[in-house]
Amino acid sequence: MNWKEAIVLGLSLADILGFLCVIGTVWGIKMMSSPATAVRGNLLGAVSMAVAIIITLVSENIIGQGLLWAGMAVGTAIGYWSALKVTMLQMPQMVALLNGLGGGSSALVSLLTLLAGGSASVASVTGLNMGLIVGGVTLSGSIVAGAKLHGLMSSRPVVFEGQRTLNNAVLAVTAVLGALSLMMGTGTLFVLAMLTLIGSLVYGVLFAIRVGGADMPITVSLLNSFSGVAASISGFAISNPLLISIGAVVGASGLILTQIMCRAMNRSLGQVLSGATTVLKPAHATDKSTASAPVRSRGAEVSSASTAPTASAGSASPAVPAHIQAARNARKVIVVPGYGMALAQAQSDVKALIDMFDSRGADVKVGVHPVAGRMPGHMNVLLAEVDVAYDKLYEMDDINPEFADADLVVVVGANDVINPAANTAEGTPIYGMPILNVAEAKHIVICNYDTRPGYAGVENPLYQPSSKVTLLLGDAAMTLKKLLADIAAGDGAGAAAGIAPTDGQAVSAAPTATTSTSTVGYVDIVKQARKVIVVPGYGMALAQAQADVKKLMDMLEQNGADVKVGIHPVAGRMPGHMNVLLAEVDVAYDKLYEMDDINPEFADADLALVVGANDVINPAANTAEGTPIYGMPILNVAEAKHVVICNYDTKPGYAGVDNPLYKPSSKVTLLLGDAAVTVKQLMADLSTR
């Protein structure tokens, strides 16, 4: 079959199938605009690209080239490993790296085609040089962007005298070198092409280093557009309609996204690329006569009122803090997440907070600023991970009119995007930037790490003394847990949302469960255990407790125990979920055992420690005929000499089948509550004995 023979309207079969792949890719991008269809859209785009690759291999009659298949296999393996290994917190860096690889691929195609000398056309050589330059700039610029996002380079813009002149000179020399290749012979062409590539790589570095960390998402988006442009240019040069079309789609979508982000931050693209939007010293947005900011207290409650709440005269107990009273009485609540939530991995705590307010009858919404986080949709993805309903997420323009009627706003790790100085502080980098109107709410609780200015370097007036603002400073995951406990204390409202009155309370499944003797007994058993098997589950992922599990394993090993990890093949939300989470915190691979390998060892284990697992350890799978899990292979945790279960509660798992391990037994201890808290409590108990 001749794949390139015209069959209709001058189009070949390869052209027609390629056009269908382009439609699939564009439709996939459209589906990714909504969280509800994003996963399917991503899958459609991936399938369309895979089909496009096959079409190219077949139509060019190179499908039998083993070296190509080997290269694709290596690339697929690296991509799959990266998708499992990279956390959502690192996803912006991952996107930057993928942009760079796309640009590098286009530069390589242009370079090899140029050196092959197959076309003497001026237009073709010009296109190849443009692809070489744009691809090179994308490659080096994306590497710098990724390094800044990952903390390998300072996030501050690198600005020096004569920088613009140097940048323009490098770009001009690079362009001249490319132009000279139009008139030089083959021998000189190689040298000129390599110099052109080097010039483009240098310009890419200069291009990216002058952008500050707060604006790096815009730069990544622009580099994404560049990668598409480079691919499209290369497609023109090698007469590949599919490459032209896909490159154009990526280039256009990246440019549109860049414009949207610039508009949302009230920046021009020129300001971003010149580094003019970040100041090196904090800009003061308030008058010098204003009272000093609240005392900073890491991990503690700090009221921004001029005087902290105190007990009323003659009262036997202290007054309820204003922010707790406001939270308990709130009928309308807006939660505002930011990059601090991502850093603290506090999205599961935000979900718990939302559930608590829901259980109290409050109307809870989440206001998401378009540039919150390190990439567009960052907050949406993190909250979707912990099953926050899509209809609770509101964009800035939709939520802003509602702040004035809100009884309470809870800010979690956001600064610049809520900074009222954007409306008043002329001459500062954020002046005129649209913000979330948090300041209009009746009461505001800010769970930020400290009161330092954000990336823009502009002090936030919300940190100044005010009776309507409370600062809970420190790690957001910890301050939210304390806020949840304080709201739930004194009434039963937290129970409906699953908030334990005292996190980390030890509750033995034995009849004498609540006695101190029982608690002491299980601690001694843990400390004396010589063989321990840890069983992680999805609850560990929700609580982001993998680092605590690693610390506990280290503590037990230092005590002389042989510690292994038993992993069920369907633990978590995807194959290898537990492996990836534990690898993130450097748990050695040789400690991870699959179900068939670890099951024979439970009978000899002194202790099985379960962290957030239910159905995969439920003995009912062996006996409860007619239930969804009957006959399902499980981890034989019940055979261990003693079992400690760090689960959130004793409710059935997804299968809806009660777990017999939760029934009274002298060999089982339940530590109920957030796994990160209960595992920390277990380590503290072990340290004190």
Q: For residue 308, is pLDDT > 80?
A: no
Tokens in use for 78?
A: 């690296």
pLDDT at 1: 66
Confidence grade of residue 57 (pLDDT, cut at 50, 70, 90): confident
Among 21-35, 159-173, 304-318, 354-368, which stretch is predicted with the lowest mean pLDDT?
304-318
What phi and psi, each to the nearest 5 degrees, are found at residue 277? -100, 0
In percent, the amount of the chain with pLDDT more than 70 equals 83
Confidence grade of residue 281 (pLDDT, cut at 50, 70, 90): very low
- pLDDT tens by residue, 310-343: 333 333 345 678 888 888 989 999 999 998 898 8
Confidence grade of residue 89 (pLDDT, cut at 50, 70, 90): low
- The whole-number average pLDDT for the span 74-100 is 83
pLDDT at 273: 63
Specify if 279 maps to a domain: no
Whether 546 and 616 share a structural domain: yes
Separation of alpha carbons 250 and 239, rounded Å = 18
Which residue shows structure tokens 């000899």?
Answer: 604
Q: For residue 297, is pLDDT > 50?
A: no
Separation of alpha carbons 431 and 450, rounded Å = 22
DSSP 458: B
CATH code of residue 593: 3.40.50.1220
Separation of alpha carbons 268 and 545, rounded Å = 42
Whether 106 and 186 share a structural domain: yes
Whether 540 and 655 share a structural domain: yes
First to last CA, the chain: 78
Residue 75, domain extent: 1-85
Whether 34 and 146 share a structural domain: no
Confidence grade of residue 646 (pLDDT, cut at 50, 70, 90): very high
Whether 486 and 564 share a structural domain: no
Confidence grade of residue 239 (pLDDT, cut at 50, 70, 90): confident
pLDDT at 517: 33
- pLDDT tens by residue, 431-482: 788 899 999 999 999 999 888 887 767 889 998 878 899 999 888 888 998 8
Domain termination site, one of 496, 522, 547? 496
Is the whole model's pTM more than 0.95, yes or no?
no
Q: How far is CA 168 from the centre of its chain?
A: 36
Specify if 523 maps to a domain: yes
Query: Is 615 in the active site?
Result: no
Among 305-309, 356-360, 373-377, 607-611, which stretch is predicted with the lowest mean pLDDT?
305-309
Confidence grade of residue 602 (pLDDT, cut at 50, 70, 90): very high
3-state helix, strand, coil in the chain (%, to 5): 55, 10, 35
Specify if 292 maps to a domain: no
- pLDDT tens by residue, 487-501: 887 554 444 444 443
Specify if 314 maps to a domain: no
- The whole-number average pLDDT for the span 628-653 is 89
Confidence grade of residue 274 (pLDDT, cut at 50, 70, 90): low
In percent, the amount of the chain with pLDDT more than 90 equals 29
Whether 528 and 619 share a structural domain: yes
Nearest to 409 by CA among 334, 340, 472: 334
- Residue 592's contacts (CB-CB under 8 Å, 6 or more residues apart) are 565, 567, 578, 579, 582
The residue among 634 and 687 whose pLDDT is bigger is 634
The residue among 605 and 302 whose pLDDT is bigger is 605
- pLDDT tens by residue, 393-445: 999 999 999 999 999 999 999 998 999 988 887 777 777 888 999 999 999 99
pLDDT at 574: 59
Among 30-34, 114-118, 562-566, 672-676, which stretch is predicted with the lowest mean pLDDT?
114-118
Specify if 478 maps to a domain: yes
Q: Which of 155-169, 198-212, 286-300, 444-458 has the highest mean pLDDT?
A: 198-212
Confidence grade of residue 536 (pLDDT, cut at 50, 70, 90): very high
pLDDT at 511: 30
Whether 471 and 510 share a structural domain: no
Whether 513 and 489 share a structural domain: no
Whether 347 and 266 share a structural domain: no
For 69-104, b/e burial (b = at least 16 CB within 10 A) is eeeeeeeeeeeeeeeeebebbbbbbbbbbbbbbbbb
Q: For residue 300, is pLDDT > 50?
A: no
3 state SS for 10-24: CEEHHHHHHHHHHHH
Whether 65 and 185 share a structural domain: no
Separation of alpha carbons 685 and 643, rounded Å = 17
Q: Which of 128-142, 228-242, 500-514, 568-582 has the highest mean pLDDT?
A: 128-142
Domain termination site, one of 441, 471, 496? 496
Q: How many domains is the chain built from? A: 4
Domain termination site, one of 58, 85, 112? 85
Specify if 593 maps to a domain: yes
Considering the candidates 215, 355, 416, 615, report the single residue annotated as catalytic.
Answer: 416
- Is residue 260 classed exposed, middle or buried when 0-12, 13-18 and 19+ CB atoms within 10 A define those classes? middle
Q: For residue 119, is pLDDT > 80?
A: no
Q: For residue 138, is pLDDT > 60?
A: yes
Specify if 310 maps to a domain: no
Whether 51 and 129 share a structural domain: no
- The whole-number average pLDDT for the span 116-140 is 83
Specify if 624 maps to a domain: yes
Among 21-35, 253-267, 325-339, 504-518, which stretch is predicted with the lowest mean pLDDT?
504-518
Whether 640 and 590 share a structural domain: yes
